[in-house]
């Protein structure tokens, strides 16, 4: 799964929270089971990744940026944060917690 983030107006943490809230709202309107994985992924990133630390390390993640920022989840729980096609953070997200 790959999710593109728009950091033109918001920092990374705010944008992920916005996408999480939007996905939950859409799920309750449509009951689309495909949204469940996206919601779980965004929740795990919000809870288990030091987004504030990453925001401090990479100025593009602080907002007002047109950088290409993507969250990528691979099978097995490997998570990547890509900034302009370069992986700037990689970690395993615990599954089923």
C-alpha span between 43 and 54 (Å, rounded): 17
Beta bridge partners of 79: 73, 91
Query: Can you give the pLDDT at residue 96?
Result: 53
Helix ranges (DSSP H) in the chain: 12-30, 34-48, 51-57
3-class SS of residue 74: coil
pTM over 0.85: yes
Return the axis-axis angle of helices 34-48 and 12-30, rounded to nearest 10°. Answer: 150
User: Would you list the domain boundaries of the chain?
Assistant: 2-92
**H/E element, 92:** strand 86-92
Query: Can you give the pLDDT at residue 97?
Result: 44
Q: What is the pLDDT of residues 26-73, one digit of tens each?
A: 999 998 998 999 999 999 999 999 999 999 999 999 999 999 999 999
């Amino acid at each position: 799964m790959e999710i593109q983030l728009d950091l033109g107006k918001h920092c990374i943490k705010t944008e992920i929270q916005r996408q999480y809230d939007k996905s939950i709202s859409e799920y309750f309107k449509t009951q689309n089971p495909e949204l469940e994985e996206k919601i779980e992924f965004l929740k795990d990133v919000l809870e288990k990744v030091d987004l504030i630390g990453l925001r401090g390390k990479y100025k593009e993640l602080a907002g007002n940026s047109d950088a290409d920022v993507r969250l990528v989840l691979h099978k097995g729980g490997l998570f990547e944060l890509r900034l302009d096609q370069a992986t700037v953070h990689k970690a395993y997200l615990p599954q089923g917690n």
